[in-house]
Amino acid sequence: MNAKDNLFEIIKANASQKELNWIETKASGSLQSLQTAFVATPRFISKTPINTFETLNGVDFKTWTLDKLVRAYFLASLSDLHKEVYTKTLHTLFETAENNEAVALISSLVFLENPETWLLRATDAVRTNIGVVFDAIAFKNPYPQEYFSELAWNQLVLKCIFNDKPIQRILGLDERANKELATSISNLAHERWAAGRSIPPQAWRLVVKYLDETIFEDIKRLFDSESQNDQIAAALVCKYSEFETAKSKLEIHADLKDKTKNLTWSSLEC
Amino acid sequence: MCQKESEIKQNPSHFEGTAEEHEMSKTIQANYMDYVKGMKFFDPHIHMSSRTTDDYTALVDAGVVAIIEPAFWLGQPRTGLASFKDYYSSLVGWERFRSSQFGIKHYCTIGLNSREANNEALAEEVMEILPLFLYKEGVVGVGEIGFDDQTAAEEKYYRQQLEMSKEASLPVQVHTPHRDKKKGTELSMSIALEHGIDPRMVIIDHNNEETVESVLDKGFWAAFTIYPFTKMGNERMVELVKKYGPERIMINSAADWGISDPLAVPKTAALMKIMGISDEAIKLVCYQNAIDAFAQSGQINVSDFETPQEIDQSLKFNGNTVLRGGQIPRVDKNSIFIS
């Protein structure tokens, strides 16, 4: 089955008969009717949470509502169109999107034809300051992990850290950790420290694999921090790192070593 | 009542009041918000895109819980369709988000304003994209549309947009002209009736003493804009509510890029309270009537602003945790320190 049919199966299990009738009428209509249906969905479809354990193209629907799912289905229904018309239609939907429509579009990127061609829309969502739209690309969305360049990926993660957002909800967070990102996090910490501010302690999980003499200076500073969570972060970095100096440093801080024995990064998640 | 003693001295009026009244007017000036404590307000016409975050903070403090931002002329004429498209998008996108950061529910009306209807080539293109926006969530009407110079082009696109409102089952927010207002108001109403639109679906805006009676008699909603110098003052407004009662009457600030007052609704409510208008009537004029009129769109869910909002911690931007713990960060305007 293709994405469209799979999405419809989940909709069937969650929608009322009246809602299903409306969806079917619109899905079999003209292109204009489909486009209008995408916009008008919340007028006819409830915002009830989706109840399913299924995942599709790497998307789990735990935080989805029915109106969003129906919008994803309408988008997937466009895939039969001629390529040029398809592209033009989607651009129009992106460019005229209200916030909830933008969320539906960004959350559905992996259900679109040739998802890689929509990269600029995805990175635009990282650039937005509208919280819900940014969250739609950042969290529980398989698109960035699969299609973002290292530069785009790092911008996404850094913006999350910068805005105190929960990075653990980014899919592929550990898999796509990289040296460049580790350095940027260290630089961000220095800027914040100079301003008398701090970075969220769990951001340091991303430097574990790239610990060197320079970044280790930051870890030492965390051990001396007044914040308990900074100290725990320092201990966790040393606990997971292969860097020898880090290992011996942890031995010196026996109390923290003991304290973090049963802790993981999830203990610091916000 | 004369509010300012200083003004009385400069311009002795027909009624100068007693010493107690002078004292009372000074107290009222300083504490007008005390008269509307605990009241909720709905401003059905305010152009927040032209306002600052200070205004949003002031609105929250004054009890304004929801607003409608009508699409209008930006002062600088638009020269291309993309400008319209981006403006409409911002009304359902960025501005809606900005407002949510302060816990104010933001609705809008979408339409081609009367001034720019006169650029016919562009107006034609705008007509094509309007339906894309009219069906969006939180779009509670077609507006603000109507007459400015009362030209043939203005009439043409007013009629077209009335038809669109019928098609979309949306209320219409009608701007009435500054010049030749009475004639323009009558014309707007007769055209709406000619198109078979129920007057209960039409909000005639920017009324004054000269237009209100006809608007109410014909069954339309009568909105009043409390706007310094050019539109209604709020003392006149109080007199109108006394004369006509609160039914189908609503007030708004129409605050925009001009010298205007975003607190026009709560301030007028306070003045009504002081002048002895009942709480029930104040609620109708400053809150309920606007909701009843625009909720005919099916796009207003009062629980979105009547029950205290769960603050969504994901609504943070630019490193500012604007709504952390439900508290709007305060900037101490008198402090030299910015931290």
One-letter amino acid of B41: F
Across B146-176, b (16+ Cβ under 10 Å) vs e yields: bbbebeeebbebbebbbebbbebebbbbbbb
Find the DSSP H helices in chain A: 3-14, 17-27, 31-44, 66-77, 83-95, 99-107, 119-127, 131-138, 142-147, 150-162, 179-194, 213-223, 228-240, 244-252, 254-259
- The answer, yes or no, to whether residue B316 has pLDDT greater than 70, is no
Is B15 a domain residue? no
| Cβ neighbours of residue A238 closer than 8 Å, sequence gap 6 or more | A219, A246, A247, A249, A250
Distances (CA, A) of B150 to A21, B99, B187, B193, B214: 46, 34, 9, 18, 19
Contact B211, B185 (CB under 8 A): yes
Contact B48, B99 (CB under 8 A): yes
Instruction: Choose, out of A32, A41, A70, A96, the residue to mutate when testing the contact with B (most B CBs < 10 Å).
Output: A96
CB contact under 8 A, B88 and A135: no
Burial, A183: exposed, middle or buried (Cβ in 10 Å; 0-12, 13-18, 19+)? middle
For A:8-67, CB contacts with B below 8 A are 35-36, 39-40, 42-43
Alpha-carbon gap, residue B97 to B256, rounded angstroms: 18
Minimal CA–CA distance to A94: which of A105, A86, A109, A78? A105
Please state, rounded to an integer, the average pLDDT across all residues of chain A.
Answer: 95
3-state DSSP: chain B helix, strand, coil percent, rounded to 5? 50, 15, 40
CB contact under 8 A, B318 and A163: yes
- The pLDDT score that the predictor gives to residue B231 is 80
The pTM assigned to this predicted structure is: 0.86
- The answer, yes or no, to whether residue B3 has pLDDT greater than 50, is no
- The pLDDT score that the predictor gives to residue B232 is 85
- The answer, yes or no, to whether residue B8 has pLDDT greater than 50, is no
CB contact under 8 A, A162 and B133: no
Q: pLDDT tens, A226-269?
A: 999 999 999 999 999 999 999 999 999 999 999 999 999 999 98
Q: Which residues of B touch A98 (CB under 8 A)?
A: 89, 92-93, 96, 136-138
> What percentage of residues in chain B have a pLDDT greater than 70?
85
- The pLDDT score that the predictor gives to residue A141 is 98
CB contact under 8 A, A130 and B93: yes
Region B254-267: mean pLDDT is 96
Tell me A48's DSSP state: P
Q: Which residues of A touch B132 (CB under 8 A)?
A: 35, 39, 92, 96
Structure ipTM: 0.82
Is B26 a domain residue? no
Is B23 a domain residue? no
- The answer, yes or no, to whether residue B12 has pLDDT greater than 50, is no
Contact A107, A42 (CB under 8 A): no
Is B99 a domain residue? yes
Alpha-carbon gap, residue B30 to B310, rounded angstroms: 33
Burial, A108: exposed, middle or buried (Cβ in 10 Å; 0-12, 13-18, 19+)? buried
- The structure tokens listed for A99 are 């916030």
Beta strands B172-175 and B139-146 are: parallel
Q: pLDDT tens, B167-196?
A: 999 999 999 999 999 999 999 999 999 999
- The pLDDT score that the predictor gives to residue B21 is 66
Q: How far is B165 from chain A (nearest CA, A)?
A: 15
Q: How far is A266 from chain B (nearest CA, A)?
A: 19
The chain B residue lying nearest A36, using CA atoms, is: B132
- The answer, yes or no, to whether residue B337 has pLDDT greater than 80, is no
pLDDT bucket at A122, cuts 50 / 70 / 90 = very high
- The answer, yes or no, to whether residue B322 has pLDDT greater than 50, is no
| Cβ neighbours of residue B248 closer than 8 Å, sequence gap 6 or more | B216, B220, B221, B222, B289
Instruction: Choose, out of A70, A71, A99, A133, the residue to mutate when testing the contact with B (most B CBs < 10 Å).
Output: A99
Alpha-carbon gap, residue A226 to A237, rounded angstroms: 17
A203 touches chain B (CB under 8 A): no
Q: Which residues of B touch A95 (CB under 8 A)?
A: 85, 89
Domain tally, chain B: 1
Tell me B298's DSSP state: S
Distances (CA, A) of B51 to B93, B262, B308: 16, 9, 25
> What percentage of residues in chain A have a pLDDT greater than 90?
95
Minimal CA–CA distance to B186: which of B214, B160, B157? B214
Q: pLDDT tens, A160-184?
A: 999 999 999 999 999 999 999 999 9
- The pLDDT score that the predictor gives to residue B328 is 62
Is B129 a domain residue? yes
Is B121 a domain residue? yes
B103 conformational bin, left if phi > 0, alpha if psi -120 to 50, beta if neither? left
For A:122-141, CB contacts with B below 8 A are 129-132, 134-135
Q: Pick from B85, B97, B131: which is nearest to A95 by CB?
A: B85
> What percentage of residues in chain B have a pLDDT greater than 90?
77
- The answer, yes or no, to whether residue A222 has pLDDT greater than 60, is yes
> What percentage of residues in chain A have a pLDDT greater than 70?
100
| Cβ neighbours of residue B316 closer than 8 Å, sequence gap 6 or more | A131, A163, A164, A165, B322, B323, B324
Per the structure, the complete domain to which residue B195 belongs is given by: 38-304
Minimal CA–CA distance to B227: which of B261, B194, B199? B261
Is B324 a domain residue? no
Contact A109, A115 (CB under 8 A): yes
Contact A178, A148 (CB under 8 A): no
Q: pLDDT tens, B55-78?
A: 999 999 999 999 999 999 999 999
CB contact under 8 A, A96 and B133: yes
CATH (domain of B220): 3.20.20.140
- The pLDDT score that the predictor gives to residue B313 is 39
Minimal CA–CA distance to A69: which of A144, A13, A130? A13
Residue A80: Cβ within 10 Å count: 9
The chain A residue lying nearest B138, using CA atoms, is: A98
Contact B63, B266 (CB under 8 A): yes
Assign B1 to helix, strand or coil: coil
The chain A residue lying nearest B89, using CA atoms, is: A96
Q: Which residues of B touch A39 (CB under 8 A)?
A: 132, 135-136
Find the DSSP H helices in B13-80: 19-31, 53-62
- The answer, yes or no, to whether residue B6 has pLDDT greater than 90, is no
Q: Pick from B133, B317, B319: which is nearest to A131 by CB?
A: B317
Q: Which residues of B touch A165 (CB under 8 A)?
A: 314, 316
Q: How far is B249 from chain A (nearest CA, A)?
A: 28
Is B8 a domain residue? no
